[in-house]
Amino acid sequence: MAARNKYSIVVPTYNERLNIALVVYLIFKHLKDFDFEIIIVDDGSPDGTQDVVKQLQQVYGEERILLRPRPMKLGLGTAYFHGLKCASGDFIVIMDADLSHHPKYIPSFIRKQIETGASIVTGTRYVRGGGVHGWSLMRKLTSRGANVLAQTLLWPGVSDLTGSFRKSVLEDLIVCSVSKGYVFQMEMIVRASREGHHIEEVPITFVDRVYGSSKLGGSEIVEYLKGLVYLFFAT
């Protein structure tokens, strides 16, 4: 079912030359019945990611794929804000470039949003029909533990902390959010829950990246824990 709304899909990238063409192809494949644009915010990738995006623009059109680069790595939160300023859609979908969130789930987000009138729809691994694929047992345990900790401290009202947003709601949330990196998405959902926004969930399967190496390391885990403590006291 085609919707009259337009969807802006913001994809931050850093060294995703091997993934970005597949991500774009899958978005076009699964959203062929929808009006959408893809906004790629690249943080000065030295691996040629921007060159691949420019080739994709020649194939799909510069009006469908917008390249909005920045000179260096400036953080996930500011990347979404940068993409939002360039977005012309009624709804903003935020997703990773590593295919951990498969584009095939975006129509489910859209249908849920249309059916319920929700301001935010999140994809969750932690309900029936959701899950993870390709992860080691240790990574599964770490992820589950991080989620349980977030639920216990912050009670955000949803079981996972990524999502798609009505544009006006996302604009308000971004202005209030101060976290950087991976904690940024969590802060936006927590603040949205505190403010009483209508949030819905759809099950997704989270998969390990196909190409490249994970950017989640020890420093990111420390930042996540610090972010939890900050949100506990600040929201």
83-126 confidence digits (pLDDT tens): 999 999 999 998 888 887 788 889 999 999 999 999 989 887 65
Q: How far is CA 148 from the centre of its chain?
A: 20
The kind and range of the H/E element at 50 are helix 49-60
Instruction: Tell me the domain boundaries of the chain.
Output: 6-234
Give the number of other CB atoms < 10 A from CB of residue 157. 16
CB-based contact 18:211 (threshold 8 Å): yes
Comparing CA positions, the residue from 53, 27, 59, 29 lying closest to residue 40 is 53
Q: How far is 120 from 140, CA to CA, in rounded Å?
A: 26
- Span 51-86, pLDDT tens digits: 999 999 999 999 999 999 999 988 777 888 899 999
Beta strands in the chain (DSSP E): 6-13, 35-42, 65-67, 91-94, 120-124, 131-133, 164-166, 199-203, 205-207
CATH of 6-234, one of 3.90.550.10, 3.20.20.70, 2.60.120.10, 3.40.50.261: 3.90.550.10
Q: What is the pTM of this model?
A: 0.75
